[in-house]
Structure 1
Amino acid sequence: MVTLSAGLSPAALQAIADLEHRVVAADGGRLKLEWNALRHRSGEAVEDVLWWDGDRLLGFLGVYSHGAPTLELAGMVDPEARGRGIGAALLNAGLQLCKDREHGSILLVVPRSSAAGRALAERQGGRLDHSEHALELLGDPVEVAADPRVTLRAAAEADRPAVRELMRLGFGWEPPASADRDPHTLVIEQDGRPVGAVRLLREGDRAGIYGFVVHPDQQGRGIGRDVLHRLCRTARAEGADVVHLEVETDNDRALHLYTSIGFQPVITEDYYAL
């Protein structure tokens, strides 16, 4: 049956991890479960939907905001329990949760290889909004010469206007005030002037690179390649076995940059607007 959760217990997190293992073993690829978010749910709002059969978890759906104006929904169903309406029940419950949230739109993340996921999105009236490649780096990145004029540092209070403007230029939206204090945000500077921003998050033995943006006027000058190399080296030095990120399928420049460092595509995910 469907259970709504405000915060996830260690037992629930383990059950989600076990379910993820079963699904990936059957389907391949990966699932966009955002483990850093799952492990640090506030406990103040219901953000996860679970389907239990006794003490065995058969389905899961998470709601994620990422500080963006759009909510993302991503989930999974046990391979042995498909065809029982669990996916539809999870999605319906997740959409109900979203109704009271102050966000402009909702996106359902569907692995391109999942015909059932695509059909579920379309039954809800979903239309394809965009697609992203998920990429992973296994091992060390390709060596890149560091530019001494480029530095990385933690974002400070005074950086908020510059970071917000970079996000607007790079992604077409500005984060809400609640996201301004993200301790993982790094400012990229060249000769002491902010030219980009990025977030690096450790997630167990994995690390994720998010919100990576270089000012349009500074692109094509090697800054992104230099910074990406540094981030990967830092993540590896801190114990990450895998570094992952996503890139839109039509962003050929960024895709070339990531693969030139050593990232390899793992799966393509379609984002359906509901």
Structure 2
Amino acid sequence: MLKPKQLIDIEQLQQECEVYDHIQLKLNWDMLKNRASDQFDFFHYENDKLVAFLGLYPFGSKVEICGMVKPNERRKGHFYTLFQRGMTTVKQENFKSILLNAPASSVEAKLLLAKLGATYGFSEYQMRWKEKHLEEANGFTLRQANIADLDMRIRLDIEAFGILAEDAEESESRIDRDTDNTMFMIDVLGETVGKIRVKRENGEAWIYGFSILPTHQGKGIGRKVLQKVVKEQSKSGYSVHLEVETKNAHALRLYESIGFQVIHAQDYYNYN
């Protein structure tokens, strides 16, 4: 469990880096605030001031890594030192895949990742809905997920996102522990064909994990579901956001056609 001072120091360093570099870092604050221990967090302090931080974020057999260094303390080897410590833990935990994430607009981060030998994998986009007229959507049913839907949720992660079975099980269990989440299942003619998760916090409704079985894709179901969810959340007074992963920017056209606009992008790099 991280100490309150450590969390404050991380937040202050994040703010300083974001202002200086005109970026937004993804530090997975939900996980940082609920760490069972500090084994996945690495700090470098000088004169009681946090100079560099690196966090590991396990998702089953996969681990994501994000770090930052105080602007006036860069190019002194701080990040590389923390990265090596992190790699020691990665090997001990026997993770099967490693992803490094960095803001898409950060040229400095891309140069550093290239030196480490990391290769581009995909991008993750944070989008915000700009109000526009949406048609009434029908031909499907949205219902809140129950325990009996767990197997289908895992199947959707595997078939729609290509996630390993063990990672899908861990991910869905972690989602269920977050009380701010509402998981909806998508039924068409009595058959469950997809899922969509909504997380409400600080006046914002975030859409995650939106997936349709491959056998039912291309039928317009996704567009209709998205329109309905957006309308309902907006009518309830929330600003509507979503997070989507893609290797191809053209895949964003569905979301953009409904009224979503990209506000931030994170690039993910594979590391051996």
Query: Normalization by structure 1: what TM-score?
Result: 0.81
Following the alignment from structure 2 to structure 1, what is the Cα–Cα distance between the partners of residues 149 and 244? Answer: 25
Code of the aligned partner of 2:51: L
Alignment size in residue pairs = 263
Alpha-carbon contact 1:200-1:210 (below 8 Å) kept: yes
Residue 149 to residue 231, structure 1, CA distance change in 2 (3 Å): closer
Provide, for residues 234-255 of structure 1, a one-character-per-residue CA deviation record: whole Å limited to 9, x for no partner: 65577755624132131633x1
Following the alignment from structure 1 to structure 2, what is the Cα–Cα distance between the partners of residues 133 and 179? Answer: 17
Provide, for residues 6-35 of structure 1, a one-character-per-residue CA deviation record: whole Å limited to 9, x for no partner: x22333223222222222212223211122
Cross-structure match for 1:103: 95
Name which of 6, 21, 30 aligns with 1:12.
6
Query: Normalization by structure 2: what TM-score?
Result: 0.82
Q: Please say if 1:132 is aligned against 2:132.
A: no
- Consecutive unaligned residues in structure 2, runs of 5 or more: none
Cross-structure match for 2:217: 219
Written as runs of structure 1 = structure 2, the 5 A alignment for 1:113-192 is: 113-128=105-120, 130-137=121-128, 140=131, 143-147=134-138, 149-154=140-145, 156-173=146-163, 174=165, 175-181=167-173, 182-183=175-176, 184=181, 185-192=183-190
Alpha-carbon contact 2:208-2:242 (below 8 Å) kept: no
* Secondary structure of 1:151 counterpart: strand
* Secondary structure of 1:220 counterpart: coil
Residue 48 to residue 242, structure 1, CA distance change in 2 (3 Å): farther
Distance apart, 1:96 and its partner CA: 1.7
- Consecutive unaligned residues in structure 1, runs of 5 or more: 1-6
Provide, for residues 100-139 of structure 1, a one-character-per-residue CA deviation record: whole Å limited to 9, x for no partner: 22421101112333333223323333222x1214232165
Written as runs of structure 1 = structure 2, the 5 A alignment for 1:1-274 is: 7-41=1-35, 43-44=36-37, 46-67=39-60, 69-128=61-120, 130-137=121-128, 140=131, 143-147=134-138, 149-154=140-145, 156-173=146-163, 174=165, 175-181=167-173, 182-183=175-176, 184=181, 185-202=183-200, 204=202, 206-232=204-230, 241=239, 243-250=241-248, 252-253=250-251, 255-274=252-271
Residue 76 to residue 242, structure 1, CA distance change in 2 (3 Å): farther
Following the alignment from structure 1 to structure 2, what is the Cα–Cα distance between the partners of residues 126 and 235? Answer: 39
Provide, for residues 70-91 of structure 1, a one-character-per-residue CA deviation record: whole Å limited to 9, x for no partner: 2111122222221221221222
Provide, for residues 33-63 of structure 1, a one-character-per-residue CA deviation record: whole Å limited to 9, x for no partner: 122222222x146222222233432222221
Code of the aligned partner of 1:22: E
Pick the structure with more helix per residue.
2
